[in-house]
Amino acid sequence: MNKIYLDHAATTPMDSEVINTVNKYMEDYYGNPSSIYQTGQKANNKLNEARETVAKLINAQDFREIIFTSGGTESDNLAIKGTALARKKQGKHIITTKIEHHAVLHTCEYLEKHHNFDVTYLDVDKKGFVKLADLKEALREETTLVSIMTANNEIGTIQPIKEIGDFLKDKDVYFHTDAVQAIGQMKINVQDMNIDLLSASAHKIHGPKGVGMLYIKKGTKLVPQMNGGAQERNRRAGTENVPGIMGFKKAVELVMENRKELVEKNTYLRDKLIKGIENNIEEAVLNGPRGSKRLSNNVSFCFKYIEGESILLNLDMQGIAASSGSACTSGSLDPSHVLLAIGHSKGTAHGSLRLSLGKDNTEEEIDFVLEKLPGIIQRIRDMSPLYNKE
């Protein structure tokens, strides 16, 4: 059997149509979009076409509300630092959650350390949900920004974004959401959800790496974090990556065309994986919720008495690529901050496995994983001094 790739939450392979699009624009649209002559303006016109497509994906009111960046991390940094520093005279309090991606958490920590901001990190329940009551209690007069991710990258929990947006709608507070994991897996309507800023990345939806976007609602005050030229309506300096952005556009078009079928297929495979693991492996703890409040492509478990790294190495020897959590922390020996936040002990959190599905995964592949995984877990447990075999 060929390599089984089950780490789409880390990155997705580029779609062949996206690759063809990128190649085309590398050859035919080499002009600098800021140049006033025809070659440059030809490229600039394509950028605006891409903005219109991305705006449709999230139902932005105006294509000019879309700013292109180098990816989700830059978009998070620009949204949080940009708005916080733009409104620091109004207040220096930010609210976020304990299970955000490190692109959000470390940005908030930077503002605490270097700009004397006060950040409230909201707790989540055992399934990873933020409680609206906790947000209401944390809100202060000096609060200027709330940043809560749409869906968690490790455990798949989909937050009540519309309810949060409705609550903040009449408040003098900006609402940012990191939608990097959610953008290809669920419908997002920034107007209906009352979102002021939204981050997304192309490489999570079978697009190219190094390209992302930030939706900035018209009228939102923001200090640019890249200094230089006047690109992206003075919000993000630097010559735009036209081929990459057009690859992003093609990936978005494919999402809008195929998302319904993809979600249905992934949901079926996801639930089969969850059921198969629970039925065949003892002391396997599902992380996150079940059903419609979980990303359709996310499966996350903790297996007691063992470490996730051993599971990954054994799966890799069987031709299965997976993850123990966020790819951005794969070099760390610390247990996942997300798993600790939902109540796991450090020992249990170390035994985590995330399987994330993509458009090309098949039921045959899932059957193969379910055939191999129980034996892998048992072999590792048999070697663990923590495992009581009696």
Query: What does the radius of gyration of the chain's CA atoms come to, in whole angstroms?
Result: 21
| Mutual angle of helices 363-382 and 242-280, in 10-degree steps | 60
**Helix, strand or coil for residue 28?**
helix
CB 329 within 8 A of CB 336: yes
User: Which among 328, 368, 378, 384 is annotated as catalytic?
Assistant: 328
Q: What is the DSSP letter of 201?
A: E
**Phi, psi (rounded to 5 degrees) for 355:** -115, 115
- Burial status of residue 6 (CB atoms within 10 A of its CB: 0-12, 13-18, 19 or more): buried
Q: Which of 304, 289, 48 is nearest to 160 (CA)?
A: 289
Q: Which of 288, 260, 298 is nearest to 10 (CA)?
A: 298
Helix, strand and coil percent figures for the chain, each rounded to 5? 45, 15, 40
Q: Which residues contact 355 (CB under 8 A, 6 or more apart)?
A: 6, 7, 273, 299, 300, 322, 369
DSSP string, 59-123: T-S-GGGEEEESSHHHHHHHHHHHHHHHTTTT--EEEEETTS-HHHHHHHHHHHHHH--EEEEE-
Active site includes 328? yes
Q: Which of 190, 222, 88 is nearest to 143 (CA)?
A: 88
Residue pointed to by tokens 């070099």: 331
Pick left, alpha or beta for residue 287 (phi over 0 → left; psi -120 to 50 → alpha; otherwise beta): beta
Bridge-partner residues for 353, per DSSP?
301
Catalytic annotation, residues: 328
